[in-house]
């Protein structure tokens, strides 16, 4: 199939974009892409590809932007239950950490998730995944973390594998047994930390090795935060994970600075996420590492808080910056990377081109998939979007509506 006549074909070719290189869209005007089966075969101008491949079935993208599918590298898209009442409490002045401390927040979703059947969990999650897909996300990282017990965490993982199998959204799974201290361990956080480190992780590893089509181990993530896991507890879990061969992620500096970002850099984590109250020293450590800094602008927006990731400092220091939605029932119920881009332009002060690179090729790097997705290059997976606009800057500039017309996932066409 030949997708042709795009007003702007954003290829994002050339790999992840560090520091001031961020924002290189590598645009081909009047661009075309040749797709065969699940793969991109060739990329070029309409004229060049049409004469080289005259007999291919054509998809006319005249006057439209064609770009790589969005990669959402941080979500908690799987859960059961409802937290709308909590939103109201927050509007009346309660803080997120106060609600968590009082046994609400994450723990209220844990109660609902533990008691729901696998089917109920799948049925509540599936529509969110479709909403993500229809808004242009072709691959999403999704975390467990509302089970906080071995069996309940594995059931969430099982559900993620089932949902990934159903498609079309491709799911990159993360184990987050360390999302909060399980309620039974409220007074014994070190015991829960040991349970995650020495019981859950080895069981997960054995279980995983029996899940046939998944060759790569899932990520392990820890919520390093006041009221969740201390820096030392986070270190214990991540070091243990690393010993077992799991790739690492961390939630750091969402509310308090505990040093989680520097820990991520030290341990060679794939990403460090949130990064709102990150110190200059942490930023330097991150920028001098391979760890991707993932900003989640929907979260302060969702919490109506005024502070966002100091993206300018991260880029100045030469860091690798990505953005994600953080889709979750507590702080940011947002399925749309387009909205994350709109916020990133306003509050991280990124240009649309920078935000688009952060949402595609750099987001792919944040889940260690930049060799197969995140750009339009020969040999990569055919995950593409056709937008209803002729200039890419409409992403960021416009918000609250969906600019995606067509999603192409592994070469299959879905009209939105
Ligand atoms: O990234 N901070 C921890 N996890 C989520 C919130 C999850 C929840 O409140 O259910 C976040 O903001
Ligand atoms: Fe999160």
Residue ending a domain, among 345, 365, 385, is 365
Q: How far apart are CA 334 and CA 329, in angstroms?
A: 9
Q: What CATH number corresponds to the domain at position 86?
A: 3.20.20.140
Q: How far apart are CA 237 and CA 295, in angstroms?
A: 23
3-state SS class at 291: coil
Q: What is the pLDDT along the chain (416 residues), one digit of tens a residue?
A: 999 999 999 999 999 999 999 999 999 999 999 999 999 999 999 999 999 999 999 999 999 999 999 999 999 999 999 999 999 999 999 999 999 888 899 999 999 999 999 999 999 999 999 999 999 999 999 999 999 999 999 999 999 999 999 999 999 999 999 999 999 999 999 999 999 999 999 999 999 999 866 789 999 999 999 999 999 999 999 999 999 999 999 999 999 999 999 999 999 999 999 999 999 999 999 999 999 999 999 999 999 999 999 999 999 999 999 999 999 999 999 999 999 999 999 999 999 999 999 999 999 999 999 999 999 999 999 999 999 999 999 999 999 999 999 999 999 999 99
Instruction: Note whether 208 and 333 are same-domain residues.
Output: yes
Instruction: Note whether 63 and 118 are same-domain residues.
Output: no
Supply the range of the domain harboring residue 390: 2-68+374-415
Instruction: Note whether 203 and 107 are same-domain residues.
Output: yes
Q: Which residues pair with 232 in a beta bridge?
A: none
Strands annotated E in 149-236: 170-178, 219-224
**Ligand 2 centre distance from Cα of residue 223 (Å):** 8
Token pair for 38: 């699940």
**Ligand 1 centre distance from Cα of residue 52 (Å):** 50
Residues 6 or more apart whose CB falls under 8 angstroms from that of 30 comprise 5, 6, 7, 45, 46, 47
Ligand 1 interacting residues, C-beta cut-off 6 A: 76, 105-106, 109, 223, 251, 254, 299, 326, 328-331
Instruction: Note whether 321 and 409 are same-domain residues.
Output: no
Instruction: Note whether 161 and 261 are same-domain residues.
Output: yes
Sign of CA dihedral 316, 321, 323, 326: negative
pLDDT at residue 347 in the model: 98
CA-to-CA dists, residue 204 to 74, 156, 181, 192, angstroms: 20, 12, 18, 16
Q: Whose CA is nearest to atom 3 of ligand 1?
A: 223
Q: Which residues pair with 294 in a beta bridge?
A: 273, 322
Residues 6 or more apart whose CB falls under 8 angstroms from that of 201 comprise 175, 177, 220, 237, 240, 241, 244, 246
Longest CA span, the chain: 70
Strands annotated E in 253-379: 271-274, 292-295, 321-323
Instruction: Note whether 115 and 225 are same-domain residues.
Output: yes
Instruction: Note whether 75 and 154 are same-domain residues.
Output: yes
Q: Indicate the number of domains in the chain.
A: 2
pLDDT at residue 316 in the model: 98
Q: Whose CA is nearest to atom 12 of ligand 1?
A: 331
pTM of this structure: 0.98
Instruction: Note whether 157 and 95 are same-domain residues.
Output: yes
Instruction: Note whether 64 and 87 are same-domain residues.
Output: no
Instruction: Note whether 80 and 64 are same-domain residues.
Output: no
Residues 6 or more apart whose CB falls under 8 angstroms from that of 180 comprise 100, 105, 106, 107, 110, 145, 148, 223, 228
Instruction: Note whether 54 and 125 are same-domain residues.
Output: no
**Ligand 1 centre distance from Cα of residue 189 (Å):** 18
Q: What CATH number corresponds to the domain at position 18?
A: 2.30.40.10
Q: How far apart are CA 190 and CA 192, in angstroms?
A: 5
pLDDT at residue 214 in the model: 73
Helix, strand and coil percent figures for the chain, each rounded to 5: 40, 25, 40
Q: Whose CA is nearest to atom 9 of ligand 1?
A: 330
Q: How far apart are CA 15 and CA 290, in angstroms?
A: 14
Q: How many helices (H) and strands (E) does the chain have?
A: 17, 16
DSSP code string of 185-201: GTT-HHHHHHHIIIIIH
**Ligand 1 centre distance from Cα of residue 381 (Å):** 31
Instruction: Note whether 275 and 159 are same-domain residues.
Output: yes
In the structure, ligand 2 is a single-atom ion and the residues with CB under 5 Å from it are 326
């Amino acid at each position: 199939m030949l997708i042709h006549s795009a007003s702007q074909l954003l290829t994002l070719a050339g790999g992840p974009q560090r520091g001031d290189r961020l924002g290189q869209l590598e645009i081909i005007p009047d661009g075309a892409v040749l797709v065969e089966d699940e793969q991109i075969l060739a990329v070029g101008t309409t004229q060049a590809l049409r004469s080289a491949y005259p007999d291919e079935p054509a998809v006319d993208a005249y006057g439209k932007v064609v770009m790589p599918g969005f990669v959402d590298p941080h979500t908690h898209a799987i859960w059961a239950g409802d937290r709308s009442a909590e939103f109201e409490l927050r509007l009346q002045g309660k803080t997120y950490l106060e609600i968590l401390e009082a046994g609400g927040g994450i723990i209220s979703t844990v109660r609902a998730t533990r008691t729901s059947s696998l089917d109920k969990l799948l049925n509540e999650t599936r529509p969110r995944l479709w909403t993500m897909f229809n808004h242009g996300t072709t691959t999403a990282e999704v975390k467990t973390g509302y089970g906080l017990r071995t069996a309940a965490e594995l059931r969430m993982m099982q559900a993620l594998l089932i949902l990934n199998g159903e498609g079309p959204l491709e799911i990159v799974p993360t184990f987050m047994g360390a999302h909060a201290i399980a309620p039974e361990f409220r007074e014994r956080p070190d015991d829960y930390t040991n349970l995650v480190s020495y019981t859950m992780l080895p069981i997960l590893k054995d279980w995983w090795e029996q899940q046939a089509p998944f060759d790569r181990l899932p990520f392990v993530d820890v919520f390093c935060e006041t009221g969740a896991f201390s820096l030392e507890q986070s270190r214990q879990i991540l070091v243990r994970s690393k010993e077992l061969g799991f790739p690492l992620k961390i939630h750091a500096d969402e509310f308090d600075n505990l040093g989680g970002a520097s820990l991520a850099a030290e341990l060679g984590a794939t990403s460090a996420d949130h990064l709102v109250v990150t110190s200059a020293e942490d930023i330097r450590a991150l920028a001098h590492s391979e760890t991707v800094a993932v900003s989640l602008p929907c979260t302060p927006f969702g919490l109506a808080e005024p502070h966002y990731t100091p993206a300018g400092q991260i880029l100045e220091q030469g860091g690798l910056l990505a953005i994600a939605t953080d889709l979750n029932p507590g702080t940011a119920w947002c399925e749309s990377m387009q909205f994350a881009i709109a916020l990133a332009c306003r509050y991280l002060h990124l240009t649309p081109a920078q935000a688009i690179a952060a949402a595609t090729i750099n987001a792919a790097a944040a889940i260690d998939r930049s060799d197969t997705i995140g750009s339009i290059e020969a040999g990569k997976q055919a995950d593409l979007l056709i937008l209803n606009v002729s200039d890419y800057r409409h992403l960021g500039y416009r918000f609250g509506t969906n600019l995606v017309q067509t999603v192409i996932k592994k070469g299959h066409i879905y009209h939105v």
